[in-house]
Amino acid sequence: MVKRTAKAVIGANYGDEGKGLMTDYHAARAGREGIVVRFNGGAQAGHTVTAPDGRRHVFSHFGSGTLAGAATYLSRQVVCHPALFLKEAAQLQAAGLAALPPVFVDERAPVSTLYDILLNQALERHRGQARHGSCGMGFGETVERQLDPGFALTVADLRQGAGYLLHRLAAIRDHWVPRRLAALGIAALDAQSAQWLASDGALQSFVHAAMRFRRMTEPARPAVLMDYAGAVFEGAQGLLLDQDRGAFPYVTRSHTGIRNALEVAGEAGFEGLDVTYVTRAYLTRHGAGPLAGELPGKPYPGIEDRTNVPNEFQGTLRFAHLDLDLLVRTIRADFDDALPCPGIDATLNLAVTCLDQAGPALSYVEDGALRTAAPDALAAHLAARLGAGTLYTAWGPTRETVRT
């Protein structure tokens, strides 16, 4: 009997490692017979995929295998945002995907609202120079609200209809928001935010979006993954932003490593998980928080990043050289979570992306010293230190540039 094995793609740093590229690479092997599983985070994900034909999209809700024809599964650990889902669907259709691949969603998944975004942005502005680096998309505030059963909202609730949803949203607006603002020490909202909060039109627009989201997705539990020839678990953010392992409070309220993927894979019935940890050839961080060895600018003139543009909440992209000792410790600590998982055999692989941007000599830190090596030699050395079963190296933005 053939053992059912899935792929998993995990960011090894602070995000922006190339998870979209590697998810697209793995998903393309199965094409329309494949499915991509989102198992953490929400619409704040920004995974860039450039198809071989030149089409480019930054994925947030849809799995990064969509351009390759793969379906998407949003697990119970993913925060769904109906309005942003619809916005992304329209962008994909405008890019030529008239018929989108199916999107399945676990009805236990939380739903983010316009009020979570309002609270998130108000809080980050209130912090001033002590910001935490939030994307301003409402993810953390949704997680906080879900802790109170009186104000929790899930995809299953959307199936109750527009009237029920209007009632739930009104309760969140009229009772949860004032309570939360008081708890955060925010005495008053700015005029624009206050107008948004009071707007019945904004509330009704959200309800309309939620009903469309309900119609465009199919409710399913993890067993649906077995209907597909290949499954790729796509992580969001990176290991150094994990809520338990990152430098608090500059973290995301999510498990960014293999933990959630193992839970969903086990529930689906998989017996193996091939885990690919992804890192760029250099280190980046977008948003506030510590970055050891931060450089004053780009470490290599060939670096180009069209996705991580400067914005109000995360500022500009920051850079450092890879610290191999930190990277190995971080990956091994996360992978060790997989070892005691009953019924699932896990294998560790490594992907190093953006090697084409580094030039002939790549700088890195090891044993506290700054060293240099040819890009392919550095990737092989890192893979050897990790004991990686497979090494993937990416020499451009498309799946065709990935070497095994």
Task: Give the end of a domain, one of 175, 199, 218.
Answer: 218
Cross-strand bridge partners of residue 284: 319
How far is it, in rounded angstroms, from Cα 333 to Cα 328?
8
User: What average pLDDT score do residues 197-203 get?
Assistant: 88
Residue 214 pLDDT class (50, 70, 90 cuts): very high
User: What average pLDDT score do residues 136-149 get?
Assistant: 87
Residue 320 pLDDT class (50, 70, 90 cuts): very high
Residue 63: its pLDDT value, please? 97
Task: Give the end of a domain, one of 172, 188, 218.
Answer: 218
How far is it, in rounded angstroms, from Cα 81 to Cα 87?
10
Q: Which letter does DSSP use for residue 311 in this model?
A: B
Residue 310: its pLDDT value, please? 54
Residue 255: its pLDDT value, please? 92
How far is it, in rounded angstroms, from Cα 365 to Cα 372?
9
User: What average pLDDT score do residues 258-281 get?
Assistant: 95
Task: Check whether 111 has a pLDDT greater than 70.
Answer: yes
Tell me: do 331 and 375 sit in the same domain.
yes
Tell me: do 87 and 195 sit in the same domain.
no
Task: Check whether 1 has a pLDDT greater than 70.
Answer: no
Q: Which letter does DSSP use for residue 54 in this model?
A: S
Task: Check whether 76 has a pLDDT greater than 80.
Answer: yes
pTM: 0.93
How far is it, in rounded angstroms, from Cα 207 to Cα 162?
6
Tell me: do 87 and 139 sit in the same domain.
no
Tell me: do 228 and 353 sit in the same domain.
yes
Residue 337: its pLDDT value, please? 84
Residue 136: its pLDDT value, please? 58
Known active-site residue 16: yes
Task: Check whether 404 has a pLDDT greater than 80.
Answer: yes
Residue 342 pLDDT class (50, 70, 90 cuts): confident
Give the range of the structural domain holding residue 186, as residue numbers without chain letter. 114-218
Residue 375 tokens read as: 């890009």
Tell me: do 184 and 70 sit in the same domain.
no
Catalytic residue among 47, 57, 286, 321: 47
Tell me: do 183 and 262 sit in the same domain.
no
Tell me: do 228 and 186 sit in the same domain.
no
What amino acid occupies position 143?
V
Tell me: do 89 and 236 sit in the same domain.
yes
Considering its fold, how many domains does the chain have in total?
A: 2
Tell me: do 321 and 230 sit in the same domain.
yes
pLDDT tens digits, one per residue of 30-62:
999 999 999 999 887 888 999 999 999 999 999
Where do the DSSP E strands lie in 13-164? 34-38, 47-50, 56-59, 71-74, 103-105
Q: Which letter does DSSP use for residue 176 in this model?
A: I
Task: Check whether 122 has a pLDDT greater than 90.
Answer: no
Residue 67: its pLDDT value, please? 95
Tell me: do 154 and 279 sit in the same domain.
no
The answer to whether 275 touches 348, Cβ cutoff 8 Å, is yes
Known active-site residue 61: no
Residue 342 tokens read as: 């009953």
Mean pLDDT across the chain, nearest whole number?
Answer: 91
Residue 307: its pLDDT value, please? 64
Residue 130: its pLDDT value, please? 58
Residue 127: its pLDDT value, please? 65
Which CATH number do you get for residue 332?
3.40.440.10
Tell me: do 150 and 253 sit in the same domain.
no
Tell me: do 203 and 327 sit in the same domain.
no
Catalytic residue among 16, 116, 242, 274: 16
Q: What percent of the chain has a predicted confidence (pLDDT) above 90?
A: 72
